[in-house]
Amino acid sequence: MSTTIPARFFQMLQEVWGFSELRQAQVQAIQAALEDRDALVVMPTGGGKSLCYQAPAVFRGGCTIVISPLIALMKDQVDGLRQVGVPAARWESNMSNQEKRALANELRQQKIRVFFASPERALQKDFAELFEGNHVRMIAIDEAHCVSQWGHDFRPEYRQLLELRKHFPKASVMALTATATERVRRDILDQLQLRSPQVSISSFDRPNLTYRVIPQANVLAQCKEIIDRHRSASGQAAGGIIYCLRRADVDQLAEALQACGYSVVGYHAGMSPEQRMQAQDAFINEKVQVVVATVAFGMGIDRSNVRFVVHASIPKSMEHYQQETGRAGRDGLNAECIMLFAMRDVASMRNLLISSANENSAPKAWTDSLLQQLDEIVSFCKTPVCRHRKIVEYFGQRYPTDNCGACDVCLGEIDVVKDSKVIAQKILSCVHRMGERFGTLAIIDVLLGSNSRDIQRRGHESLSTFGILKGHTRNELRDWIDQMIHAKLLKITKESNYSLLQLGPEAKSVLFGTHNPVLLRTVISQTPEAAKPLARFAYDQALLERLMEWRQETADREKVAPYLLMSDGVLAELAARRPSKIDRLTAVNGLGAKQIGLHGDQLVGLIESYCSLKSVPMDQPLRFPTSYVRESYGARLKQRQSLEQIASALNVAVSTVTKYLVEYILEGAIEDVSTWVSDLEVQQVHQAAERLGSGQLTPIFEACNSQIPYHKIRIAMAMRPASCGSQG
Ligand code: ADP
Ligand code: ZN
């Protein structure tokens, strides 16, 4: 993909943010912005939406107005921009008149580069007067799905935002959202009347997230295990969110964890605003690492170093799941998403959806669509297909690899039970023998041959199915019964106060042997003992912890959230490279000039004293174990995927993919490059290089009439015999 983004832009990007490249979808959006064209940006949480309007704003000057419905997010964004030295501000309704006047002055004097306001404020009559009209270069509309009634949080006032166009005729409009459905996308384009917009959509895959769905057993014990698994070597807990369905579940689980000595806070809409604010602040400032919450928690929480998200209950839909799990690993480092699945939670959720639909007298079609969405997420949990693939395909995109290496299915943690058919038949015949008059627990008792008083009282030990599944565990049976309910082999029927387990519509086909059901088993023993390391490159763990302590102290002193002061990714890179001089800090991705100016001395000093004390070498390159990054490129290249496809799957620029391809070619691991460059192009490049007697890219590019993009020239040059000299 060729870009017209000038080199000066990348210098600015490096200087301010410390980023060495743009992600593919960012390139398209930023290119449009620099050309004053409208754009729609669709990226999942953590995809890097904010840079799409922030970077052009800094590059071009003038003022960019950002409309955002989430007050807490605006504060985060403003703090984040100020951290890297960009003048940013937001309008708060509770500012004093004096503060408002001061801000209005700054705006009029064109001192603010990025200005955040709520839609309500932006629609007030006097809004445009705050600005020197021509001075406003762009209006960015964040959470743009709010404009659509098909979205999950429709806000009618969003539709009036197109009025802003009249006041700022010179400004282009950039709409941003994480909602991927086609219908919402089209609605945004229509409602905001974007003019021949550049639509840039990034992959919805989040390769740094590892997904697991495990059967729910003892939720408290499972949560403890997960929190412990994510502790650092010195025992420090990592940031995590545990989602529960009801407020009561939140209170209960939070208290139980606290009673076990875990530092957690609860969060739900039933708490007072002060309590909620306190919980949120504690989590953002890393005074507490784990929040137990209802889904009310998360809107407006941007903490980027959340290392795990647990669903202790089923989410409402795939979209909710994607959004809730998306809060993990926004910094791009490894994170884990674990669903503790139980069929009874599905039943509770179903009842909840139905009763709330009834309360609001929602039309039947509406309720049906909610239930269908619930079915889709259940099916996601109960089908042994790569979780990454399932999610990406749900959002209408293709997933290019067979093994993601980052989900329970691909990691081989789920097995098909060998004697599935016999086990299913045994469970069905037991239900049948018991006259379909008992609940799940009683049936499990009989299958296991328990010696309980109820069994004796009912005379169940004389049943022919008594004890026929002895040797399995209770949790296993519960999980299989859940799977059979989902496969419609069994069903739950409510009768007065009892839930009876009965034969489902598909039961006959199994009992008669015409259908072979497949049961799955989670191989719990293979769940890793420790979470994945944070980063894909090797880093010094103890130094990282030391840097995290430094960050916490500094953040407390400067009254800014630790993750905004410096991301986990930057700290991990520092702990890997261990720079010995200030000017080597620029190599760290995500460390901008202002940060280096403010903290560089301290960082280098801290690293130096650590390294000399421990005799650890300094000034190291980043080392990627082959098992990770390189191989994920290699596998895709060997499948002969296009460079664009790989770039989008791995969320990197085409130039990065090219770099790996060139490496493979030079090693002789890839010989045929016809997928990426035609023979003719290779010939042209070689001839030009010969004529020029040089391997420098720009002269070759010009010699080929600027027709062959740079990345193709690189590939073609790698195909030259070694004696022809190296490339420039
Ligand atoms: P979103 O708003 O889409 O949820 P953010 O704008 O918060 O995503 O970005 C997510 C993370 O990715 C942030 O930590 C940000 O610093 C980082 N990021 C964004 N763009 C780049 C880039 N080009 N290179 C490196 N990191 C980036
Ligand atoms: Zn997978």
pLDDT digits (tens, 9 = 90+) for 446-477: 999 998 888 889 888 889 999 999 999 998 89
- The answer to whether 65 and 115 have CB atoms below 8 angstroms apart is yes
Mutation probe of ligand 1 site: the residue of 26, 50, 66 with most atoms within 8 A of C-beta: 50
Tell whether 342 and 440 lie within a shared domain.
no
Residue 132 has pLDDT above 80, yes or no: no
Q: Which pLDDT score, from 0 to 100, does residue 183 have?
A: 84
Same domain flag for 634 and 715: yes
Give tens-digit pLDDT for 300-322. 678 999 999 999 999 999 989 99
pLDDT digits (tens, 9 = 90+) for 473-514: 998 899 899 889 888 999 999 888 888 999 999 999 998 888
Determine, yes or no, domain membership for 529: no
**Lowest-confidence range among 49-53, 147-151, 415-419?**
147-151
> What's the one-letter identity of residue 63?
C
Domain containing residue 704: CATH number: 1.10.10
Task: Tell me the β-bridge partners of 492.
Answer: 501
Domain of 645 in residue numbering reads as 626-724
Confidence grade of residue 418 (pLDDT, cut at 50, 70, 90):
confident
Ligand that comes closest to the CA of residue 413: 2
Q: Model confidence at 3, in pLDDT bands (50, 70, 90)? A: low
Do residues 405 and 420 both lie within one domain? Answer: no
Q: Which atom of ligand 1 is nearest to the CA of 567?
A: 14
Residue 330 near ligand 1, beta carbon < 6 Å: yes
Q: Which residue has the higher pLDDT, 61 or 403?
A: 61
Cβ-contact 20, 14 below 8 angstroms: yes
Residue 723: its pLDDT value, please? 43
463 and 587 belong to one structural domain: no
Of the three residues 363, 389, 409, the one that is the final residue of a domain is 409
With a 6 Å cutoff on the Cβ, whether 326 touches ligand 1 is no
Note whether 188 and 217 are same-domain residues.
Answer: no
pLDDT tens for 148-183 read 876 667 788 888 998 898 899 889 999 999 887 888
- DSSP helix/strand/coil, 137: strand
49 lines ligand 1 (CB under 6 A): yes
Is residue 52 within 8 Å of residue 41, measured between CB atoms? yes
Atom nearest to 20 CA in ligand 1: 24
Q: Which range is least confidently modeled, 355-369, 429-443, 577-591, 648-662?
A: 648-662
Q: What percent of the chain has pLDDT over 90?
A: 63
Nearest ligand by distance to the CA of 567: 1
Res 532 pLDDT > 80: yes
591 C-alpha to ligand 1 centroid (Å):
13
Say if residue 65 is in the same domain as residue 22.
Answer: yes
Instruction: Please choose, from the candidates 307, 495, 487, the residue with its C-alpha nearest in 3D space to the C-alpha of residue 381.
Output: 487
User: Residue 627 has what pLDDT?
Assistant: 56
Same domain, 403 and 421: no
CA 55 to ligand 1 center in whole angstroms: 11
Is the distance from CB of 578 to CB of 537 less than 8 angstroms?
no
Tell me the CA–centroid distance for residue 380 and ligand 2, in Å.
12
CATH code of residue 495: 1.10.10.10
* Residue 342 near residue 272 (C-beta atoms within 8 A): no
Question: Quick check: CB of 208 below 6 Å from ligand 1?
Answer: no
Which residue is closest in CA terms to ligand 1's atom 2? Answer: 49
What does DSSP assign to residue 405?
Answer: S
Mean pLDDT of the chain: 90
- HSE (CB half, 13 Å, CA atoms) of 321? 33
**Burial tier of 248 (Cβ tally within 10 Å: 0-12, 13-18, 19+):** exposed
Closest ligand by atom to 302 CA: 1
Task: For residue 205, report the distance from its CA to the centre of ligand 2, in Å.
Answer: 11
Helix and strand numbers, DSSP H then E, in the chain: 30, 17
Half-sphere exposure of 545 (CA within 13 A, CB side): 11
142-171 as b/e, with b when 16 or more CB fall inside 10 Å? bbbbbbbeebeeebeebbebbebeeebeeb
Residue 305 CB less than 6 A away from ligand 1: no
Q: Which two tokens stand for residue 487?
A: 């496969």
| Residues 509 and 576 placed together within one structural domain of the fold | no
Identify the CA nearest to 252 among candidates 208, 290, 285, 219: 219
Compute the average pLDDT of residues 326-332: 92
Is position 433 within any domain? yes
* Residue minimizing CA distance to atom 5 of ligand 1: 48
- Burial-class residue 668 by CB neighbours within 10 Å (0-12, 13-18, 19+): exposed
Question: What's the start-to-end Cα distance of the chain, in Å?
Answer: 21
Whether residue 330 sits in one domain with residue 263: yes
Q: Is the CB of 52 under 6 A from ligand 1?
A: no
* Residue 29 and residue 163 share a domain: yes
536 is a domain residue: no
Is 531 contained in some domain? no
Per-residue pLDDT at 424 exceeds 90: yes
Pair 533, 307: CB distance under 8 Å: no
Structure confidence at residue 725 (pLDDT)? 42
Write the pLDDT tens digit of every residue in 235-272: 899 999 999 999 999 999 999 999 999 999 999 999 99
**What CATH number has the domain bearing residue 566?**
1.10.150.80
Q: What is the pLDDT of residues 588-628, one digit of tens each?
A: 999 999 999 999 999 999 999 999 999 999 999 888 766 56
Q: Which atom of ligand 1 is nearest to the CA of 331?
A: 14
Q: Could you tell me which residues come within 8 angstroms of residue 123 by beta carbon, excluding any fewer than 6 positions away?
A: 157, 160, 161, 163
More confident residue, 6 or 698: 6
244 in the same domain as 165: no
pLDDT of residue 2: 55
pLDDT of residue 327: 93
Query: What confidence score (pLDDT) does residue 728 get?
Result: 37
Q: How far is the CA of 568 from the centre of ligand 1 (A)?
A: 13
Looking at all shown ligands, the one closest to residue 403's CA atom is 2
Ligand lying closest to the C-alpha of residue 205: 2
Q: Domain total for the chain?
A: 5
In this prediction, residue 683 has a pLDDT band, given cuts at 50, 70 and 90, of very high
User: Which CATH number goes with the domain that contains 385?
Assistant: 3.40.50.300
Is residue 46 lining ligand 1, measured as CB closer than 6 Å? Answer: yes
Chain centre to alpha carbon of residue 512: 45
Atom of ligand 1 nearest to the CA of 21: 23
Query: Lowest-confidence range among 97-111, 385-399, 493-507, 649-663?
Result: 649-663
Residue 532 domain flag: no
- Look at residues 385, 409, 433 and tell me which one is the last residue of a structural domain: 409
534 in any annotated domain: no
Q: Is residue 327 part of a domain?
A: yes
> Which residue's structure tokens are 């959806």?
353
pLDDT tens profile 695-718: 788 889 889 988 899 899 999 999
Place of tokens 């403890």: 224
